[in-house]
Amino acid sequence: MKEPGLDNRHRDKNPPKAGEIQQKRSDTLNKNLPKPIPQFSGNATLGRMREETGKTSVESVRAAARNRRP
Q: What is residue 52's predicted lDDT score, i.e. its pLDDT?
A: 93
**Side-chain-facing half-sphere of 31: CA atoms under 13 Å:** 4
Q: What is residue 50's predicted lDDT score, i.e. its pLDDT?
A: 93
**Side-chain-facing half-sphere of 21: CA atoms under 13 Å:** 12
Q: What is residue 23's predicted lDDT score, i.e. its pLDDT?
A: 76
* Cβ–Cβ < 8 Å for 61, 46: yes
pLDDT tens for each residue of 5-59? 556 666 666 766 666 666 788 899 999 998 999 999 999 999 999 999 999 888 9
How far apart CA 8 and CA 54 sit, in angstroms, is 24
Checking if the pLDDT of 68 tops 50, the result is yes
Q: What is residue 1's predicted lDDT score, i.e. its pLDDT?
A: 44
- Judge if pTM exceeds 0.75: no
